Amino acid sequence: MIRSSEFAESFRIAVASLRANLLRSVLTTGGVVVGIFIVVLMGWLIRGLDSVWEQTISIIGRDMIYIDKWNWAGGRNWRLAESRKDVTLDQVMALADRMESPEYVIPMTRQWGGSISYGSKSLRTSIVGTDSDYGATPAGSILDGRFFTSVEDQQSSNVAVVGFGTAKTLFPDESAVGKTIKIRDIPYRVVGVIEKRGFLFMDFIDQQVFIPLRSFRAAFGFQGRSFSAAIKAGNERMLDVVRAEAVGTMRVIRNVPPHKEDDFAVNEMEAFDEQAKSIRFWIWVVGIGLTVLAFIVGSIGIMNIMFVSVTERTKEIGIRKALGARRSSILMQFLVESTFLCLFGALIAMPVAQIVVAAIHTIATSVYDFEAASAVSILIPLDLLGIAIFVSIIVGILAGIIPAFRASRLDPVEALRFE
Amino acid sequence: MGEEQVFALRDVSLQIGNNEYVAIMGPSGSGKSTLMNMLGCLDTPTSGLYTFKGQNVRTMSDDDLAEIRNREIGFVFQTFNLLPRATALKNVELPLVYSGVSADKRRERAEAALDSVGLGDRKEHKPNELSGGQRQRVAIARALVTSPSIILADEPTGNLDTKTGQEIMAVFEQLWLHGKTVVLVTHEEDVARYARRIIRVRDGLVESDTVTT
């Protein structure tokens, strides 16, 4: 039976002991401070990653399906994909003609590492040939200027729409619109800049340059080139219907016999979710590893100082026992004290973590001009603080249990004799 | 040849009745401290029988013993054994903490106990701000606060000068007169003379047990 009067007494002793040994206590809680700090920071990072990721994916649209030769997330299927026949532009156009359920079917092809230049600046990036419908999708949403038109596509005009990142690199201090860049030494007029879309490993999205398909043909040729069909379902609920229609239609177009597997890939945003999950997972693994390490070090420190405390207060334990303290009273006294020490550590760690979180947030939003970061709270969520407090209580109890047990078992006569 | 077992006490047979005033005497190493520890339920005999108010102490759990110490016995030590960082009042409140008395009631009873030993004006002082005699009075107040039936005092005047010692002994006299059972452990004849019964212990044996007048 634990009496409230004893609990209050234990708490009072813990506070008094902390005040009496302030420096020692602060140093002792070091490991716990680090542990709590990592727990909070890790939790915040994962939350942030999730919400930024969700935002990024939803901007591009979860309702997008890409019919490609290559699987996005399938390193092991590489040989299989390589043996497939290219997806031709005619097949994509046939798909666009025949499909009824989607909002758009947009042909795309890509030149990786194509060189572009403006004045003396040049860079290699992904050059995408597509049609004007791309500008109607969220992925092609325009920040400045406009997307190229279907007329420009038909006339094979040398116009280009550049990604946010490319615009920043080539035109750091001026508007890109109206400038002339060179793609493969062919001059193109920049008509628009696309809004920032990517983050982390999706960064390449902002580096792309879009030109009309016909003009792409003039620059790079269609020979030996595989095309993709970017299909916008319209909304997520339509995804299954559109996917089924796309697969069925494409099998017919490519003459896939009924018993054979698809000889093309169906790529969706979920492929990227896998990557986000693995980043998330590694943050957890590293974070948990560091946290466990810090807490082991921390609890050894606390256990050690509790042994010191028990020894220092052997006489006091004897007095308390003589006056009627039961084993459980003494056990609780020292458990409360070790828990209190851990909570004290958490109390130190939290403002530090908050400052670091605020700093990361500020740097991410302003210095890196990373707009999506503003979707993440600059404050540590309350439930994370709750978890931190819970963990520190558990660590406090675990670290205190052996010293407290030893204290509770002291023989009162021996303890009273201790000087 | 095994190790020889050493008994601090052997063949001790005695009975202490309600409201007796007993002094246990003997040189150091005689076993008188062991005897007092047993009487105070701090220690239990390895063999034999000790009944406290009809209960067999030897078979009690540690927590039962703690309960008896808390409710029935008030300890007064030679070195006072006050908690150095706590005020006189908090020290006196301590036994009540372990009997689950609420904070208000604790304070009330502790103040009354301090008043009764003449320390009403020293409640917020810490032990190092008090004289030896005052410290022992705090210890006595602490022993009294749970209204135990027995006061066990181990060399209560050992660390005090003669005059202060006499004052402290006068306090015990009063407690006895008010119905408490008082057991003193001492090696000083002057102190033992206050008691009404003297038990002399030597080499673990009771040498004599005499009632004085």
Structure tokens at B194: 């206050």
Residue B213 Cα, gap to closest chain A Cα (Å): 32
| Helices (H) then strands (E): counts for chain A | 14, 10
Please give the average pLDDT of every successive group of 10 residues along chain A, which has 419 residues: 79 86 88 90 85 76 86 70 86 92 91 88 91 88 91 91 90 90 92 81 81 92 90 87 93 91 86 78 87 90 93 94 94 94 92 91 75 74 89 93 95 90
Pick the residue from chain B with its C-alpha nearest to A20: B85
Cα A133 to Cα A148, A204, A243, A250, distances in angstroms: 9, 21, 19, 20
What is the interface pTM, i.e. ipTM, of the complex?
0.94
Question: What strands, in cross-sheet order, belong to the sheet with B197-202?
Answer: B73-76, B150-154, B181-186, B21-25, B197-202, B205-211
**A352-400: per-residue pLDDT in tens?**
999 999 998 888 777 666 666 667 788 888 888 898 899 999 999 999 9
Q: Choose, out of A4, A9, A11, A323, the residue to mutate when testing the contact with B (most B CBs < 10 Å).
A: A323
CA separation for the pair A277, A270 (Å, rounded): 10
Q: What's the pLDDT at B45?
A: 86
* DSSP-assigned states of every residue in A169-215: HH-SSS--TT-EEEETTEEEEEEEEEPP---GGGGGGGG-EEEEHHH
All structural domains of chain B with their residue ranges:
21-211
Cα R_g (chain B), whole angstroms: 17
Residue B39 Cα, gap to closest chain A Cα (Å): 12
Cβ-contact A162, A175 below 8 angstroms? no
Pick the residue from chain A with its C-alpha nearest to B41: A322
A322 vs B: CB within 8 A: yes
Q: What's the pLDDT at A242?
A: 92
For β-strands A159-162 and A186-194, DSSP reports them as parallel
* DSSP 8-state secondary structure symbol assigned to residue A375: G
CATH architecture of B21-211: 3-Layer(aba) Sandwich (3.40)
Phi, psi for B99 (deg, rounded to 5):
-105, 10
**A185-194: per-residue pLDDT in tens?**
899 999 999 9
**A88-119: per-residue pLDDT in tens?**
999 999 999 999 889 899 999 999 888 899 98
Would the CB atoms of B98 and A329 count as touching at under 8 Å? yes
Closest CA to B206 of B22, B7, B31, B20: B31
Given phi > 0 = left and psi -120 to 50 = alpha, else beta, which region is B190? Answer: alpha
Q: What's the pLDDT at A106?
A: 93
Distant-in-sequence, close-in-space partners of A390: CB < 8 Å, separation ≥ 6: none
pTM: 0.76
Could you tell me what percentage of chain A is helix, strand and coil, using 3-state DSSP and rounding each to the nearest 5? 60, 15, 25
